[in-house]
Structure 1
C-alpha cells in the first residue's frame, strides 16, 4: 500500500490541485499546536497570482468561531482537503495473493492567513463563493436575494486570504498497479458506484500525459 509521502503519487501539475479543491471545497482548517490546537471545516476557493499561479486560498468564517480569534493571534494554519476515496478489495482480483488497499485524493496546504473585516471584502468573498457553488444550477440563487437579511449576516463573519506557503498532495489512484489488476479494480469500483474516484483514476490513467 502506498503512503501520503510517496512522491510517485504527487499532483502532476496545478490543474490537479485546482480540480481537487473546486470539486471538494470543504476543507479542515487547523491552527495551533498540541493542546492549543483549533480546527474547523470551512469552504475554500482557489486564488491566483497575476501569472496564473495558484498562490492563495480564500474563504470566510463566523466571528464566533474560536478559530477566528486564534488566527488573529497566530496567522499560520493548515488546510486539509480530502477528495474521492474508497476501499479497494482484494476480492476483486484474480490474484488472491494481493492485499487490499485504499485509493484516494488528498492535499495538505501550509498557509499564512490574513483576516479582512472590511464590508466590501466580506461581500466580495461571499458573492464569489455563492457564484462558484451555484454555477450551473437551475434557478441559481444570488446573494442579493437575501435583501435586508444580508446586513445582519455580514456583521457576524470575517473574510480571509491565506497565502500558500507549501503544499503536499497525494493522488493514490492505482498508478503502481499491473494493467490487469488495474482493470479489475476499476471494474470493482464501478460495481460499488464509486464514479467520482473512477473519474480521477481515468484522469491519471494516461500516466505520462497532461490531463
Structure 2
C-alpha cells in the first residue's frame, strides 16, 4: 500500500459517484473505448461490487464485449497541474495531482434491464431536486428510444485506485498549495485526502 492508496473503499465509491463518466475499454478482438456514465452497486463493506450502465446497440463495442466480456473501466476524479509558484520551498518541482480508479470487470448485457438501468442513472444524476426529471417525462418517446440501447452490469473483478493528492508534501507546502491553487475541485479533493 502506497501513500497514494485510498484510505478505504468508501473513497473509491465516492469518486465513482461524483465523477460517473468512465471509459469502458475492451481489447478483443480489437481495442474499443467508450465513455459512459455509470452507477455503482456497493458491497456490504462499501466497496464497488458492480457498475451499471447502458450502451447504444449500434456501438461495435457491444458485439466485441459479447464475444469477450472482460473490460477495463477507468474513472477520473479531480486532477490538475500544481505549479512551483504556489510553494515557497526552493527547488520544489511541479507535479500533477489526481484521483483515479481502474476496475477490471466482466460485463453481462440484458436488454430487459434497460428501464431499471436508466432509472438509476437518471435518479443519480438528477439528485434530490423536488422537480427532478424522470423517464416517465419522455412519455411515448421512451419505448422506441429504449429499443436502441442495451443495459449491462459490469461485475468488478479487481480495483486499483490512486489518490495522488499531496499526501507526500510537507505541511507547509500542502497548505500553500491549498491556499493558492485556482481549481476549487482539486483543492477540495486534496483537503478530503488530508495531505
| SS state at 1:148 partner | helix
| SS state at 1:177 partner | coil
Pair 1:138–1:96, CA change in 2 (3 A): farther
| SS state at 1:147 partner | helix
| SS state at 2:75 partner | strand
Q: CA deviation at 1:54?
A: 2.5
Q: What 5-or-longer segments of structure 2 have no aligned partner?
A: none
| SS state at 2:128 partner | coil
1: CA distance between counterparts of 2:91 and 2:54? 49
2: CA distance between counterparts of 1:80 and 1:54? 13
Aligned length: 195
Q: What 5-or-longer segments of structure 1 have no aligned partner?
A: 1-5
Counterpart for residue 19 of structure 1: 14
Q: CA deviation at 1:70?
A: 0.8
1:195 and 2:184 are equivalent in the alignment: yes
1:157 and 2:146 are equivalent in the alignment: no
* Normalised TM-score (structure 1): 0.88
Write the deviation string for residues 160-206 of structure 1: whole angstroms up to 9, x where unpaired.
Answer: 011101111110111110111111111121xx1x111111111121x
1:5-154 mapped onto 2 (5 Å cutoff): 7-33=2-28, 36-49=30-43, 53-118=47-112, 121-137=113-129, 139-154=131-146
* Normalised TM-score (structure 2): 0.94
1: CA distance between counterparts of 2:59 and 2:27? 14
2: CA distance between counterparts of 1:93 and 1:52? 36
Q: Which moved more, 1:173-182 or 1:132-141?
A: 132-141
